[in-house]
């Protein structure tokens, strides 16, 4: 997977109309590859956080960060190092599971701390909040049963509560 | 037209009172010291134009004939003065006509504020008459944009727009203001400061001494250094500091198309323009160099040619104001973000502290080598006999205005390159050209804006016949406001630069580039616009019309009927290494060995 080329960036932005377009447009225009992007409110009403998983095979992560900083609505950009962070993603997945196989699928769900969100005649809708890598394994194990549809939210990341202050959350203010 | 005095600006900033949003826009312009702006009225911007007439104010509005003209005039003004250029348009088509100048200002880092009317807030998103999502359209080509949401936000957005456009690396900012907000009354007060938590330029100030010392150390160990100078020097007003640095270093200086005038062309250390149509000696100097001291330049493809083959043996020092330019195209060994008028003196001090006789000895050899290339490979052309060569027109203009305060403006194409090669520009803001975007049609309006900024200067727009036809309607603006810029049309009846590529790289298939026979009579056309109209077909006629035009001090068009076949040389074919240049064959040609 070449994991070393993938970086998780957390951009603190002003909660204003058009901010997401500006960030997304920047990635398109500069040819940066996004693996995933999640946006949501923060503890402050006037701030949002955009979490971007970026593939830096063609560009340096420094160049991505510098370009993000040029957007007036972007206040701060942090790289969130995987080893010091909790990374989570929500998966909603609808799996073929008739009466015969239902308990089998539910047992698997239990192993992954997934919840049954809805039950149909022939399908189960599961929800799971986990590390994205674990979600991938979960999906893989469910595949043989027949996946009807699956959606993921994109990852969000936060430094561990136990992470030493100031050491791991590296504010990427690139001075040239 | 006079510059707003400090006291007038202070008075405007102290103003408070009840007014509508339209008047607030004008009060904001006054508070920013804006003396002139360009635009065309229309439905969604009507309240602003009403306020221009209804209230007393100090802002001159210039009515243009096409919004693109307003944008380029604002650019011409901004490039000639360093101040923010302001253009105004209505919603929809008015706003979209500003897109090209906005993109041009973005690529050439020109400070500009574009004010557009927008349909009333309750109609936004309904595909209303003349509605266009202009903030969405310009998103990739502005430094920032505002869609104003409440009337109280108008002064805040205006102040922020001017601050963003003019600080850091300058650029265009668009402020889109719905019509109903222009009509809404509120209590106006000019904000004391801008609230932009994501836009911090304070950190750019100051000098990182470690980086300066590292740069000085690289210079001390270098044998073949060259100053590679870009337009950032002009934006930073750092010409004097650059000259002092260059003279302390005694190294050759190349100036990019945008940097022409940042270092005097006639200075003995100047090797002029590098790149696709640059001098051979500039390109060879860069190619052979072991250290590029890059100052406010960005390793553009028109300079570097094939990037992998550009200056292969050189280490890179990169001084700039924009961190995103460092190591974007070429990785830097030492970089320093800062204001060039602070960082260049710091570098000079550090270099002077490194007394190094050996370095100086090597550099004398290097300078001699560069001067040798220069002596043997000047810009040159063959005089035309019966035909008028475009290069001759450049030399004649250059001679005629030498020693006068001249501002040279160009369109884009062959004439632009001949102008860059043959005109001597010795000071900043006296050469105004569309570099990054390469906008044909830039010349006529940009020259008008530059002339309105500097009424006493001799402004000459070196234009092409293709370019001229893209924005020539602004001759009406020139006539209405008596703007005496000279528009010198280098008329070869071709879209000449495209034709040159077709001749050299597309098997002489001149697809859709021949304009001959379809061009209007430019003399009759200029007369119809009320301009002085002149024509030259020989060198003697060229000399005569140039003298007449310079003496006339009124809007003037000259139709120079030049040699149709002339090409711009030297030339680095697109994608080639920058030292591999095409040229005509010259007797006793000096061939560079082993490059």
Nearest-CA distance A46 → chain B (Å): 11
Tokens 């810029």: give the residue.
Answer: B485
Residue B595 has pLDDT above 50, yes or no: no
Q: What is the mean pLDDT of residues B320-345?
A: 96
Q: Using CA coordinates, name the residue in chain B closest to A66.
A: B324
**Does residue A31 belong to the interface with chain B, where contact is any CB pair within 8 Å?**
no
Model ipTM?
A: 0.90
What percent of chain B stands above pLDDT 70? 98
Rounded to whole angstroms, the Cα distance separating B172 from B174 reads: 7
Q: What distance in Å separates the CA atoms of residue B56 and residue B36, rounded to the nearest whole number?
A: 15
Rounded-to-integer distance, Cα B542 and Cα B561, Å: 10
Asked if residues B233 and B262 have their Cβ atoms less than 8 Å apart, the reply is yes
Judge whether A117 and A93 are in contact, CB under 8 Å: no
Yes or no: say if B154 and A83 are a contact pair by the CB < 8 Å rule. Answer: no
Whether B147 has its CB under 8 Å from any CB of chain A: the answer is yes
Contact B147 A18 (CB under 8 A): yes
Pairwise CB contact (< 8 Å): A60 & B327: yes
How many CA within 13 A on the CB side of residue A167?
9
pLDDT tens, residue by residue, B129-165:
999 999 999 999 999 999 999 999 999 999 999 999 9
Picking from A11, A60, A72 by the largest number of B CB atoms within 10 A of its own CB, the best residue to mutate is: A72
Q: Taking all residues of chain B, what is their mean pLDDT, rounded to a whole number?
A: 95
For residue A118, how many C-alpha atoms fall within 13 Å in the half-sphere facing its CB? 9
Would an 8 Å CB–CB cutoff place A75 in contact with chain B? yes
Q: How many CB atoms lie within 10 A of CB A150?
A: 16
Question: For the segment A44-89, what is each residue's pLDDT rounded down to a tens digit?
Answer: 999 999 999 999 887 788 899 999 999 999 999 988 888 889 999 9
3-state secondary structure of A44: coil
Q: How far is A8 from chain B (nearest CA, A)?
A: 19
Q: Residue B204 contacts by C-beta under 8 Å, 6 or more apart in sequence? A: B168, B321, B337, B338, B339
Are domains A3-79 and A85-156 of this chain identical in fold?
yes
Give B-chain residues touching A25 at CB under 8 angstroms. 139-140
Active site residue B130: yes
Q: What does each C-alpha distance from B523 to B487, B527, B528, B530, B553 come to in angstroms? A: 12, 6, 9, 11, 17
Domain boundaries along the sequence of chain A: 3-79, 85-156
Helices (H) and strands (E) in chain A, counts: 4, 10
**pLDDT recorded at residue B590:** 47
Are B324 and A29 within 8 A, CB to CB?
A: no
Query: pLDDT, tens digit, for every residue of B53-66?
Result: 999 999 999 999 99
Min CA distance, A27 vs chain B (Å)? 10
How far is the C-alpha of A5 from the C-alpha of A164, rounded, in Å? 25
pLDDT along chain A (176 residues), means of 10: 74 93 92 91 94 87 92 93 92 95 95 96 96 96 97 92 60 48
- A18: closest chain B residue by CA: B136
Asked if A111 reaches chain B (Cβ–Cβ under 8 Å), the answer is no
In chain B, which residues have their Cβ closer than 8 Å to the Cβ of A26? 140
| Amino acid A93: pLDDT | 98
Predicted confidence (pLDDT) at residue B457 exceeds the cutoff of 80: yes
Residue B210 burial by Cβ neighbours in a 10 Å radius (0-12, 13-18, 19+): exposed
pLDDT band at B360, cuts 50/70/90? confident
Chosen CATH of A3-79 out of 3.40.630.30, 3.30.70.260, 2.40.50.140, 3.40.50.2020: 3.30.70.260
Indicate the Cα dihedral angle B161, B162, B165, B170, nearest 10°.
-160
SS3 A115: strand
Q: What is the pLDDT of residue A168?
A: 41
Please compute the mean of the pLDDT values over residues B84-93 and round it to a whole number.
98
Give contacts of B335 with chain A, Cβ < 8 Å: 176
Of A69, A71, A75, the CB nearest to B197: A75
pLDDT of B584: 86
pLDDT at B539 over 50: yes
User: Does B456 score more than 50 pLDDT?
Assistant: yes
Portion 431-450 of B in contact with A at CB < 8 A: none
Helix (H, G, I), strand (E, B), or coil: what is residue B571? strand
- Long-range CB pairs of A54-61 (<8 Å, 24+ gap) are A54/A6, A54/A7, A54/A8, A54/A9, A54/A27, A55/A5, A55/A6, A56/A5, A56/A6, A56/A7, A56/A32, A57/A2, A57/A5, A57/A33, A58/A31, A58/A32, A58/A33, A59/A30, A59/A31, A59/A32, A60/B327, A61/A7, A61/A9
Instruction: Confirm or reject contact between A74 and chain B (CB < 8 A).
Output: yes
Q: Which of A2-16, B5-19, B77-91, B244-258 has the lowest mean pLDDT?
A: A2-16
**B257: pLDDT confidence band, cut at 50, 70 and 90?**
very high
Q: Do A67 and B324 touch (CB under 8 A)?
A: yes
Residue B485 CA to residue B264 CA, distance in Å, equals: 23
What chain A residue is nearest to B335 in terms of C-alpha separation?
A176
Average pLDDT for residues B329-341, to the nearest whole number? Answer: 96
Write out the H or E segment, with its range, that includes residue A32: none
Q: Does B195 touch chain A (CB under 8 A)?
A: no
Return the pLDDT at A167.
44
Please count the other Cβ atoms lying within 10 Å of the Cβ belonging to residue B350: 20
- Rounded to an integer, the average pLDDT of B436-459 is 98
Chain A residues whose CB is inside 8 A of the B320 CB are 176
CATH superfamily of A85-156: ACT-like. Chain A, domain 2 (3.30.70.1150)
Q: Characterize the bridge pairing of strands B406-410 and B458-464.
A: parallel
Interface check for A72 against chain B (CB to CB < 8 A): the answer is yes
Q: How far is A140 from chain B (nearest CA, A)?
A: 39
- Which DSSP letter does residue B65 get? S
Tell me whether residue B280 is one of the annotated catalytic residues.
no
A vs B, Cβ pairs < 8 A, gives 54
User: How close B139 comes to chain A (CA, Å)?
Assistant: 7
Residues of B in contact with A175 (CB under 8 A): 203, 208, 323, 337
- pLDDT the model gives residue B63: 98
- For B409, phi and psi rounded to 5 degrees? -125, 150
Contact B320 A176 (CB under 8 A): yes
Report whether pLDDT(B48) > 80. Answer: yes
pLDDT of residue B307: 95
Which of A18, A26, A72 minimises the CB distance to B198? A72
B223 at A interface, C-beta within 8 A: no
Write the residue in A14, A66, A71 that is nearest to B323 by C-beta. Answer: A66
Confirm if A130 and A12 have CB atoms less than 8 A apart.
no
Q: Which residues of chain B are within 8 Å of residue A71 when distances are taken between CB atoms?
A: 198
What are the tokens at B13?
A: 């900033």
Cα separation, A152 vs A91, whole angstroms: 5
For CA atoms B158, B164, B165, B171, the dihedral sign is negative
CB contacts of B147 in chain A (<8 Å) are 17-18
pLDDT for B187-243, tens place per residue? 999 999 999 999 999 999 999 999 999 999 999 999 999 999 999 999 999 999 999
| Structural domains of chain B ordered from first start | 6-194 (3.40.50.970), 203-376 (3.40.50.1220), 390-561 (3.40.50.970)
Q: If you average pLDDT over residues B442-446, what whole number do you get?
A: 98
Query: Distance (Å) from the C-alpha of residue B567 to the closest C-alpha of chain A?
Result: 35
Phi, psi at B289, each rounded to 5°: -65, 150
- Between CA B535 and CA B558 the distance in angstroms is 5
B452 pLDDT above the threshold of 70: yes
Give B447-497 as a DSSP string: HHHHHHHSTTSEEEEEEEHHHHHHHGGGHHHHHHTT---EEEEEE-SB-HH
Q: What percent of chain B is modeled with pLDDT above 90?
A: 93
CB contact (8 A) between residue B328 and residue A70? no
């Amino acid at each position: 997977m070449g994991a070393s080329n993938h970086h998780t960036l957390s951009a603190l932005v002003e909660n204003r109309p058009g901010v997401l377009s500006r960030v997304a447009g920047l990635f398109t225009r500069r040819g940066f590859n996004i693996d995933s992007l999640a946006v949501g409110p923060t503890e402050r009403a006037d701030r949002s956080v955009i979490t971007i998983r970026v593939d830096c095979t063609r560009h340096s992560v420094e160049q991505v960060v510098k370009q993000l900083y040029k957007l007036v609505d972007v206040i701060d950009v942090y790289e969130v190092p995987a080893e010091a962070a909790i990374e989570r993603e929500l998966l909603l997945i609808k799996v073929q599971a008739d009466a015969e196989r239902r308990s089998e699928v539910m047992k698997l769900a239990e192993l992954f701390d997934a919840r049954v969100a809805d039950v149909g005649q022939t399908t189960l809708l599961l929800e799971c909040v986990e590390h994205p890598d674990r979600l991938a394994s979960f999906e893989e194990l469910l595949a043989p049963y027949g996946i009807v549809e699956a959606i993921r939210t994109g990852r969000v990341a936060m430094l561990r509560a136990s992470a030493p202050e100031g050491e791991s959350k590296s504010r990427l203010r690139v001075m040239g | 037209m006079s510059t707003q005095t400090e006291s007038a600006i202070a008075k405007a900033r102290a103003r408070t009172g009840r007014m509508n949003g339209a008047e607030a826009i004008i009060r904001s312009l006054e508070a920013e010291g804006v003396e002139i702006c360009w635009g065309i009225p229309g439905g969604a911007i009507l309240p602003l134009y009403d306020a221009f007439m209804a209230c007393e104010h100090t802002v001159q509005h210039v009515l243009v004939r096409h919004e693109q003209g307003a944008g380029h005039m604002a650019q011409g003004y901004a490039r000639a003065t360093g101040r923010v250029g302001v253009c105004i348009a209505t919603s929809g088509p008015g706003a979209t006509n500003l897109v090209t100048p906005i993109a041009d200002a973005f690529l050439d880092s020109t400070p500009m504020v574009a004010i557009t009317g927008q349909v009333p807030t309750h109609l936004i998103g309904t595909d209303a008459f003349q509605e266009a999502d202009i903030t969405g359209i310009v998103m990739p080509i502005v430094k920032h944009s505002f869609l104003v949401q409440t009337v109280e936000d108008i002064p805040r957005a205006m102040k922020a727009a001017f601050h963003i456009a003019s600080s850091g690396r300058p650029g265009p900012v668009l402020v889109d203001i719905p019509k109903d907000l222009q009509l809404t009354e509120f209590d106006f007060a000019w904000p004391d400061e801008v609230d932009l938590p994501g836009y911090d330029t304070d950190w750019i100030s100051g000098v990182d001494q470690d980086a300066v010392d590292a740069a000085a150390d690289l210079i001390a160990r270098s044998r073949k250094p060259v100053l590679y100078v870009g337009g950032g020097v002009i934006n930073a007003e750092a010409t004097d500091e650059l000259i002092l640095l260059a003279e302390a270093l005694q190294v050759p200086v190349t100036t990019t198309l945008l940097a022409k005038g940042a270092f005097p062309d006639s200075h003995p250390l100047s090797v002029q323009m590098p790149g696709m149509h640059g001098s051979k000696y500039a390109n060879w100097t860069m190619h052979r160099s072991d250290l590029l001291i890059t100052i406010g330049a960005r390793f553009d493809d028109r300079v570097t040619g094939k990037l992998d083959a550009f200056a292969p043996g050189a280490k890179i020092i990169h001084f700039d104001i924009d961190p995103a330019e460092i190591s974007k195209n070429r990785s830097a060994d030492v970089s320093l973000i800062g204001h060039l008028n602070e960082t260049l003196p710091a570098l000079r001090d550090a270099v002077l502290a490194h007394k190094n006789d050996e370095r100086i000895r090597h550099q004398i050899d290097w300078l001699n080598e560069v001067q040798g290339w220069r002596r043997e490979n000047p810009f040159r052309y063959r005089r035309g006999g019966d035909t008028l060569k475009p290069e001759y027109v450049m030399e004649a203009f250059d001679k005629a205005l030498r020693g006068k305060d001249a501002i040279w403006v160009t369109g884009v194409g062959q004439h632009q390159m001949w102008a860059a090669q043959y005109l001597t520009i010795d000071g900043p803001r006296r050469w105004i050209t569309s570099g990054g975007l390469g906008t044909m049609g830039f010349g006529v309006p940009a020259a008008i804006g530059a002339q309105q900024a500097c009424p006493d200067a001799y402004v000459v727009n070196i234009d092409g016949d293709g370019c001229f036809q893209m924005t020539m309607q602004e001759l009406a603006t020139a006539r209405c406001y008596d703007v005496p810029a000279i528009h010198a049309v280098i008329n070869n009846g071709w879209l000449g630069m495209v034709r040159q590529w077709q001749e050299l790289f597309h098997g002489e298939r001149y697809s859709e580039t021949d304009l001959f026979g379809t061009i209007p009579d430019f003399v009759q056309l200029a007369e119809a616009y009320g301009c002085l109209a002149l024509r030259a077909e020989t060198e003697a006629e060229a000399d005569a019309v140039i003298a007449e035009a310079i003496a006339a001090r009124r809007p003037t068009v000259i139709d120079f009927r030049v040699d149709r076949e002339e090409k711009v040389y030297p030339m680095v074919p697109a994608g080639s290494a920058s030292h591999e240049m095409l040229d005509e064959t010259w007797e006793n040609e000096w061939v560079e060995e082993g490059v």
